[in-house]
Structure 1
């Protein structure tokens, strides 16, 4: 309750400033007892509110159970509230006003003055957000995506700038860059398992993943070979468990070798146009090879909109810059 009061008081100030009715989110954003959002009841209440009041100011970030107990969204949950309201009103567009002029093609702390992304699909945005491009809370896309409502990311301090439009589909043109954006995170590790004639061992991979599940560890990626596979996880998730996990793998799977490779960074190169441009992956790895950057693992989504690869933590920034210079700097 105390944590929610910042949003509550700020919305009251904005309500007075604009001369619009104030609507307490605790009366309109409904949560189930297990902490999940009750979307149907929330949409019904907000719809009734707009019919009754027209325009209004509603604070974000919190709501309440039917008994009035205040519940919070995760940090950045104001984005989620905005998306919920847009869906409840069946809006034509959800404008999210923030302190940046939309999504950038790369982290400005790594690449100097990266170009802005003008148009991006929900899938591309989700991939970039998951890998660290945190302009918009990634859970904010689901309420509006289900209703096919585009999102505009706009800058409160520079309202004249175009920002970024996020929508289900974007019509491609020859002028569009091959790559939409680059994002990544450090500090992963992979547990590499090798076993002769692994392809003949039914259920081996499932049993390996079951071990990680038993320890409550989320698996990021599973690159595979004929007689080997790797399980990529966040290092922090297995900090106190990795030796026990390896011991269980050795005892239950009886592999020829188990090897742990740590200090890995994962980088995601995202672009809806990559699947239609032959030679993109070859060019990508050629450019990294020229910079003497060693690729430790490679995987790709089934949608073919991204290529994810692992490098050493120490090569992280150089890799981002190399990819940007090869694919985006020339387009700027």
Structure 2
């Protein structure tokens, strides 16, 4: 029997109308047996996510202030979904428990998790599926670290004999019952864990976009959807700021060889993006798979005669960064020069101290910090078998008179990263998109 895990994000479950869409999608395929819901998201741009409303309740409770009005507003959100189809179902007792727990000092993680918990119970009733509390099967240790092997064993044990199940996303608990959460967007991770536990044929991740886009639609007008992407490519793009899927959601299914399908709840007939382990030589028609980037970097530029023959030069410089708790992103170098690309946030309040310690450690002839740098990654498995890809990237930027401050290519030949001025970021993205996508249309 075919077996699918389906996860629905907050925008997919924001109100009664969205619940109807979700139910129709689930019932359209008998294979959609395991469902992971997020908490209700925004119904419109001016709305507030239920998770954020719960955080606000917790903050008031911690201060000993009255929060019943705020909690009642959350109750009303769920009640609207219950009343729409006229369900014979009540969350009154659950809300009474939440109110009591918050008054007794329940943790911030507990408060945040209640959005998924309530939505899970409601969706299970809506669908006629069994409900399984994630706190009983998603296991964290006392330090808040997720325990994959123990979780998989617990899930397989509890799901034995259960055919159709709703498991709320985002949270779990320690062995003694203290609720812990993943980082925001963690319902993606829960879905991935569940897919691995039940050995799903596919993990469908339903959201509000029709797949992974080749470029940021806020920068490029109406970018194409990526039809197929490998886990390796997705990691590269996610690291550089593409955020359709929570990064940690990749690993549980990747090792099991389970594909992920990113789908659009509001456009269910669109095929979306398939995320797979290997490319199987599938050709998308484009050399590149995606373009992604981030602003907010600076470069420490150093120059010293005979740097290349000075034993331990690089180690000493990196030792200074480590001592100051500063990570580096890239480190392009020449014979007598070296640049270190660092997040501006990591350097905040430490710049002069770091420079002083580098001067003391390696005595460079010249050292300076250049601010306002953006990193732009061009990613694609097709680059491995296509000559001249890097030349086309640089030509696109040269024609736009965009100066390249750094070039880095991984040994996998899967990506090329360029450092440019933040002011050139949008134009650089558009020019590269035109070169590789629009020019082959």
Normalised to the residue count of structure 2, the TM-score between the two structures is 0.74
Select between 50-59 and 154-163 the one with higher mean Cα deviation.
50-59
- Is residue 118 from structure 1 mapped to residue 227 from structure 2 by the alignment? yes
Paired residue for 1:7? 116
Q: Which digits, 9 at most, give the CA deviation of each residue in 1:226-256, with x for residues without a partner?
A: 1221111111111111111011000111111
Whole-Å Cα distance in 2 between the matches of residues 48 and 173 of structure 1? 38
Whole-Å Cα distance in 2 between the matches of residues 147 and 176 of structure 1? 28
Equivalent of residue 109 in structure 1, options 218, 228, 244: 218
Helix, strand or coil for the counterpart of 2:160? helix
8 Å contact kept, 2:202–2:258: yes
Equivalent of residue 63 in structure 1, options 163, 172, 191: 172
- Is residue 323 from structure 1 mapped to residue 427 from structure 2 by the alignment? no
- Is residue 244 from structure 1 mapped to residue 353 from structure 2 by the alignment? yes
- Is residue 27 from structure 1 mapped to residue 173 from structure 2 by the alignment? no
Choose 1 or 2 for highest CA Rg. Answer: 2
Whole-Å Cα distance in 2 between the matches of residues 51 and 156 of structure 1? 29
Cα distance change, pair 221–155 in 1 and its aligned pair in 2 (3 A): same
Deviation at 1:174, TM superposition (A): 5.7
8 Å contact kept, 2:120–2:131: yes
- Is residue 231 from structure 1 mapped to residue 358 from structure 2 by the alignment? no
Whole-Å Cα distance in 1 between the matches of residues 409 and 312 of structure 2? 23
Whole-Å Cα distance in 1 between the matches of residues 133 and 312 of structure 2? 52
Give 1:1-332 correspondences, 5 Å limit: 1-172=110-281, 176-332=285-441
Paired residue for 2:17? none
Whole-Å Cα distance in 1 between the matches of residues 193 and 300 of structure 2? 40
Deviation at 1:175, TM superposition (A): 5.7
Deviation at 1:56, TM superposition (A): 0.7
Normalised to the residue count of structure 1, the TM-score between the two structures is 0.98
8 Å contact kept, 2:302–2:367: yes
Name stretches of at least 5 consecutive residues in structure 2 with no aligned partner: 1-109
Whole-Å Cα distance in 1 between the matches of residues 371 and 384 of structure 2? 31
Whole-Å Cα distance in 1 between the matches of residues 283 and 238 of structure 2? 26
RMSD value, Cα: 1.1
Deviation at 1:171, TM superposition (A): 2.6
Deviation at 1:173, TM superposition (A): 5.0
Select between 44-53 and 184-193 the one with higher mean Cα deviation.
44-53
8 Å contact kept, 2:209–2:263: yes
Aligned length: 332
Whole-Å Cα distance in 1 between the matches of residues 313 and 133 of structure 2? 53
Select between 31-40 and 174-183 the one with higher mean Cα deviation.
174-183
Deviation at 1:200, TM superposition (A): 1.2
Q: Which digits, 9 at most, give the CA deviation of each residue in 1:111-159, with x for residues without a partner?
A: 1100000000111111111111100001110111111111110111111
Q: Which digits, 9 at most, give the CA deviation of each residue in 1:187-241, with x for residues without a partner?
A: 1001112111111122211121111111111211111211221111111111111
